[in-house]
């Protein structure tokens, strides 16, 4: 059985700055890819920053968000990635989610 290589991404996401945080995730995925990782694991709410308070509704996204789809496509050549964000539901409830 082949041994799996995991990469833990220690990042400091910018609070509420989705564009910067998506770019940071892509950079860390590329770094892990170059190191031969099979899976990259990011910290809780790494895409949004953690102490959101009033910003949560502004940065919340649905699982179908094109930015999440683009990040998933970026991992198609490996490694896979586990990312965390604030998910918004149809009835506007917010949850910490992972994809």
The model's pLDDT over 23-82, given as tens digits with 9 standing for 90+, comes to: 999 999 999 999 999 999 999 999 999 888 888 999 999 999 999 999 999 999 999 999
Q: Distance of CA 92 to CAs 55, 61, 62, 87, 88, Å?
A: 14, 10, 10, 9, 6
pLDDT at 91: 94
Chain-centroid distance, C-alpha 9: 10
pLDDT at 52: 83
Cβ(33)–Cβ(65) under 8 Å? no
Q: Taking the CA atoms of 49, 34, 80 and 65 in sequence, report the sign of the dihedral they define.
A: positive
Does the predicted TM-score (pTM) go above 0.85?
A: yes
Cβ(68)–Cβ(82) under 8 Å? no
Domains with residue ranges and CATH for the chain? 6-98 (3.60.110.10)
């Amino acid at each position: 059985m082949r041994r799996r290589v995991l990469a833990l991404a220690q990042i400091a996401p910018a609070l509420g700055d989705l564009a910067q945080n998506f770019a940071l995730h892509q950079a860390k995925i590329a770094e892990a890819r170059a190191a031969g990782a099979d899976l990259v694991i990011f910290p809780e709410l790494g895409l949004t920053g953690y102490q959101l308070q009033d910003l949560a509704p502004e940065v919340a996204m649905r699982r179908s968000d094109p930015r999440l789809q683009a990040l998933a496509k970026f991992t198609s050549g490996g490694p896979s990635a586990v990312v965390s964000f604030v998910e918004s539901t149809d009835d506007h409830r917010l949850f910490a989610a992972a994809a």
